[in-house]
Structure 1
Amino acid sequence: MHETTTMRAKWTVMLKIVFPILITQIALYLMSFFDVLMSSKYSTADLAGVSIGSSIWLPVYTGLSGILLSITPIVAQFVGAKRQKEATFSVQQGFYVAIVLAIIIFGLLMAGINPLLNAMTLEPEVQRIAHDYLIAMSFGLIPLFVYSVLRCFIDALGKTRISMFITLLATPVNIFFNYLLIFGKFGFPELGGVGSGVASAITYWIICAVAIVITMKGQPFKNFKLYASWPKIHFAKWLEICKIGVPIGLSIFAETSIFSVVAIMMSNYSTAVIGAHQIAMNFASLTYMMPLSIAMGATILVGFEVGAKRFKDARIYSYISVVTAVIFSFISATILIFFREQIAGVYSTDPQVLSLATQFLIYAAFFQLSDAIQAPVQGALRGYKDVTITFIMAMISYWVIGLPLGYVIANYTDLGPFGYWIGLISGLTAGAITLSFRLIIVQRKAKKESQETSSIAL
């Protein structure tokens, strides 16, 4: 990364950073996409089981691994300030934190899967598939979390194409093992939807190994000497990582878990409703990859500029990110509305599932604008290391506004399961508005501090 002086140069740098992140996020998403898609081709029960399992897995993984996202602004600011040794030390301590988190999550999953699934009104076969899927996925936790740290390090240096390359390798590997293990091809056991969980765990080990080799031997990563010597555990650095990362992780958990809670509440409806809801949510997650990628790019760029004390440039990158995401949201919403029948048809041939999915996809289209604002705004705030207030706002938006409103509409009006989607849209909108105001406050504070520092220097 480098300093830019014109708006055109900033757009160019942002797109160079964001495009590889987008490809990376889509590749990661495609692993979940093909888990659901290929399981749906096996049976409706496997579709429902994997849907429930992934709805539990996603918030647990994204929320706790979100703690590791603090590595990105920490390293980006150190690199911007030309403090390489401190960046290396932060990444190494991040490895330790990642392994501890993975062990904790593994223990929680082992202890909590059965009570959680027993609390749902699931068909026995759907419950079995969800249980075994989660067990299989959990054996990939350690490599997945270690890779998350490495990816944050790689991205913080602006080398997002490397992350893209690694993750693109993961998609065909995951599809290949899905094919072998879901359908029992070439002598492999026929595991149905559970096979997709085994395939994902195998894939996580492979991409982690590839990332280690690249950061060990490739430029500019080997200059940081991540593996030359291992420092002792430094709890003060753990505290810094967690002080920034925990609010980030909790914010992500607040957002992703509400979708999972809705999916669990959908278990009170028929298997067809569960499947149709998951189809719409799965495709909406794909369109979300663009604003999410822009948000991750905003964290890198804003963090780099803040580290270099160029607060005006940081503010400009924030605005560019939001504008780009909003433009994309109108395009994706149009696609969802006009091609919803074709989209649903990719996932299932069940007439009842298709009919419901086309209706859910209409609501998914309205997600787009709120997501296009709140995601890049959150990314920019992380670049400033402003995370605690962001977490509180997210909790209020999703859990105080979104979920209760959705529950009331779903259970006390004729809209039924569609009411939950109205609640989700309301929560996302509230989040977009409040986070935007927070970003303006943080930017004004940074500008004021910069002016005071300049006056003292003079």
Structure 2
Amino acid sequence: MMKNKDSEKNKFSLWLLAWPIFIEQFLQFLLGSVDTLMVSRISDNAVAVVGFSNQLFNALTTLFATVASGAGIVIAQKIGSRKEEEARTVAIIAFKVTVAIGLFLSILLIAAPEPIAGMLQLPEELLPLAKVYISVVGGGMILTAAMAVLGTAIRNTGNTKGPMMTAIGMNVIHIIMNYGFIFGEFGFPQWGLTGVAISTVISRLLATIVLFIIFLGSFQRKIGPRDFSIFDRKLFKEILVIGWPLGVNSASWVFSQLAIFSFLAMLGSTELAARTYMNTLESFCFLLGFSLALAAQIQIAHLYGAGKTKEAYHAVFKVLKVGLPLVIVNAFILVLFGRNVLGLFTKDTDILNLCTALLWLNLLLQPGKMVNMAIGNSLNAVGDTKYTMNISLIFMWVVATGCSYVFGVSLGIGIIAIYSCMITDEYVRGVLSFFRWRGRKFLRMKEDDLQKEREQEQNRCNEALASPAL
């Protein structure tokens, strides 16, 4: 029994959770950069369409993030409190609901890609490319939904290696097929951006199949075909209580980013392409920090479920101690070498000049993002999701989005003003989240609940001892 406890403790250690997530994210970043580099060989307009479309897809994924994210936290908490069967049931329910939402989104994007792109202010010259890319990749949203819920469920059982290996395989296949479609190699037709879209869907389909196989064996009792008829209202309610604020929070961020992308589209395709290239470079800054923050969320949810509130409280500060220096150093490296790297993607002088200025602002942006990732994930892990939702709704839309429009578009200051508003938003929310975590509200509530359970158990024991023997 002691050996099993030690094994579970090691399984949920921060490092063992974090390193596969980091490798997964790092390789996705490298392969994503190669992907962007390949698409840039088609045209800068193709890059702008891919960047814009990905923002749209990210916005729509928030519709099923409510269930997937909430389920992940509940699964880790249930495993921490040794309620394995309930964790298993939660995973099954989340899979069914998330896939249903993904199917609806697939049908929507296949049916109306051009009106959606036009409504979001995409420049008219980009609409033909966007119509094809959105309908093909968007038609595979059911696969994105399945991958999201399967990967989240698997990670929160403590298995971060399975999703890592799957993501590596998916991205390698995607890059090989991209190369074939873009350059007409390996017997592939030279289909350009249409081929890239087809490559994306096929690689995601293969990844979904692998993740589903891993998912079936992720719990002590293997999931079988008959188990997919299970639906427990009480457990689904637990998912939604934690999940709906997470969904709103995620939606708030993604839709605010989508709004900002539409503001950039108003400024012109140069600004839109510059932001797309910067998105790729910015990912480099917080890869390890993001991995640590996600691992901390899994670990803290597990510790919280097990009633280890002191360990849960201190875990986030360990993440910040490591994560903040890393993102600062990485952002400074980008300031020094970022323009040279960008030269691999585009030769457009206007885009390069814009990105060079944005790299300095990125040095200010990344520490704020690191604090939000670490402390925000920790608050979510203990169920304090309404707080992170509330500050997101207020400051993302008033500061990041509203002020971006006022200063960037209305007053004509441009993309520099938009970045400055995004930086301000990150720091305001980061500071508020820090003081919320220091307050230990949900951790104290957990301690009170555990104390009541101990008192009730003691009372039952006393009553049993006081009862006359039969």
TM-score, length-scaled by structure 2: 0.88
* Residue pair 2:62, 2:248 contacting (<8 A) in 1 also: no
2:231 aligned to which of 219, 230, 234: 234
Identical-pair percentage? 21
1:124-163 deviation digits (Å, cap 9, x = unpaired): 4411112211111123222332222222222112221222
Structure 1 residues 446 and 85: CA distance shift in structure 2, 3 A: closer
Q: Is the 8 A contact 1:63 1:249 kept in 2?
A: yes
Q: Which residue of 2 aligns with 1:312?
A: 310
Query: C-alpha displacement at 1:115, in angstroms?
Result: 2.6
Task: Give the drift of 1:91.
Answer: 1.0
Q: 1:435 to 1:259 in 2, by over 3 A?
A: same
**Measured at CA, do residues 439 and 107 of structure 1 come closer, stay the same or move farther in structure 2, by a change above 3 Å?**
farther
Which amino acid in the other structure matches residue 353 of structure 2? S
Q: Is the 8 A contact 1:360 1:418 kept in 2?
A: yes
AA aligned to 1:373 is: V
Q: CA RMSD in A?
A: 2.7
Separation in 2, partners of 1:292, 1:264: 26
- Corresponding residue of 1:65: 65
Aligned residue number for residue 210 of structure 1: 210
Which residue of 259, 271, 283 corresponds with 2:281? 283
Q: How does 1:18-417 map to 2 (within 5 A)?
A: 18-30=18-30, 32-62=32-62, 64-65=64-65, 67-110=67-110, 113-119=113-119, 122-216=122-216, 221=218, 223-227=220-224, 229-234=226-231, 236=233, 237-411=235-409, 413=411, 415-417=413-415
5+ residue gaps, structure 2, are: 459-470
Name which of structure 1's ranges 60-69 and 335-344 shifts more when overlaid on structure 2: 60-69
Shift, 1:238, TM fit: 3.2
Change (3 A) 1:215 1:53: closer
Report the Cα distance in structure 2 between the residues aligned to 1:279 and 1:2, rounded to whole angstroms.
47
Whether contact under 8 Å (1:63, 1:251) holds in the other structure is no
Cα distance, 1:238–1:33 mapped onto 2, change above 3 Å: farther
The answer to whether the 8 Å contact 2:375/2:434 transfers is yes
TM-fit CA distance, 1:437: 2.2
Stretches of structure 1 that go unaligned for 5 or more consecutive residues are: none
Quick one: distance in 1 between partners of 2:412 and 2:250?
Answer: 31
In structure 2, the residue corresponding to 1:24 is in which secondary structure? helix
Which stretch has the larger CA shift, 24-33 or 403-412? Answer: 24-33
Q: Check the 8 A contact 2:84/2:219 in 1, yes or no.
A: no
How many matched pairs?
Answer: 451
Q: Give the deviation of 1:369 after TM superposition.
A: 0.7
Closer/same/farther in 2, CA of residues 254 and 31 from structure 1, 3 Å limit: farther
Contact 1:311 1:450 in 2 (8 A): no
Q: Is the 8 A contact 2:88 2:219 kept in 1?
A: no
Q: C-alpha deviations, 1:396-440, integer Å up to 9, x for none?
A: 121122211222221355632211111111111111112222223
- Code of the residue aligned with 2:86 in structure 1: it is E
Stretch of structure 1 that moved more, 30-39 or 157-166 = 30-39
Cα distance in 1 for residues equivalent to 2:240 and 2:31 = 28
For the residue of structure 1 that corresponds to 2:365, the secondary structure is: helix
| Cα distance in 2, alignment partners of residues 420 and 105 from structure 1 | 30
State the distance in 2 between where 1:435 and 1:426 align.
14
Equivalent residue letter for 1:389: Y
- Secondary structure of 2:41's counterpart equals helix
The 1-side partners of 2:252 and 2:145 are apart by 19
Change (3 A) 1:84 1:12: closer
TM-aligned CA distance change 1:317 to 1:362, over 3 Å: same
Partner Cα separation in structure 1 for residue 448 and residue 237 of structure 2? 28
The farther-off stretch of 110-119 and 193-202 is 110-119
